């Protein structure tokens, strides 16, 4: 009995036995990168890590919401994010809106700012000025 070829990311059955990725995963991996040629391995790992087999969808690394891959105008549109801005290496999958908010922040800086803002919105707590001394902010 012949083996069935499956996508290395999501385990979807492939149309062609020599393919590595299903159409959906291939399209996500094939997105044009503005910084030139990219290493595909970290992208594949990020996709695998975010794949939720039960819902057959990708989930945001930061908040767990189900992402969409067919509408770039949706704030839940799937994007790749460097854990450390502008540093090659570990990537995660996130919603476009969250990537926009985190783009120039490390994970720790992002969490600190989001937590202090949430506390401020909840009970009026003062936001500490020192949290805006950001290592990677380059605008």
- Whether 38 is covered by a domain: the verdict is no
Q: Which percentage of the chain shows pLDDT scores above 70? A: 95
Determine, yes or no, domain membership for 1.
no
pTM for the full predicted model: 0.86
Residue 62 lies in a domain: no
What is the per-residue pLDDT across 24-46, written as a single tens digit (0 to 9) for each?
A: 999 999 876 666 677 889 999 99
* Domain-located, residue 121: yes
pLDDT tens per residue across span 74-102: 999 999 999 888 777 789 999 999 999 99
Alpha-carbon distances, residue 54 vs 10, 58, 69, 115 (angstroms)? 11, 10, 17, 30
Cα–Cα dist 55/4, whole Å: 22
Structure tokens at 57: 């969808």
- Answer whether residue 112 is part of any domain: yes
Which residue range forms the structural domain that includes residue 128?
Answer: 104-139
Pairing mode, strands 51-52 and 57-58: antiparallel
Q: How many domains does the chain have?
A: 1
Q: How many angstroms separate the CA atoms of 1 and 38, rounded?
A: 38
């Amino acid at each position: 009995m012949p083996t069935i070829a499956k996508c290395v990311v999501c385990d979807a059955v492939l149309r062609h036995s020599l393919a590595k990725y299903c159409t959906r995963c291939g399209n996500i991996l094939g997105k044009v990168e503005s910084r030139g040629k990219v290493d595909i391995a970290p992208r594949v790992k990020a996709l695998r890590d975010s794949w939720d087999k039960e819902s057959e969808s990708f989930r945001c690394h930061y908040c767990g919401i189900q992402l969409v891959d067919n509408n770039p105008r949706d704030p839940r549109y799937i994007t790749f994010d460097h854990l450390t801005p502008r540093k090659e290496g570990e990537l995660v999958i996130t919603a476009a809106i969250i990537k926009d908010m985190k783009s120039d922040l490390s994970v720790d800086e992002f969490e600190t700012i989001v937590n202090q803002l949430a506390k401020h919105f909840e009970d009026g707590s003062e936001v500490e000025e020192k949290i805006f001394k950001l290592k990677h902010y380059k605008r």
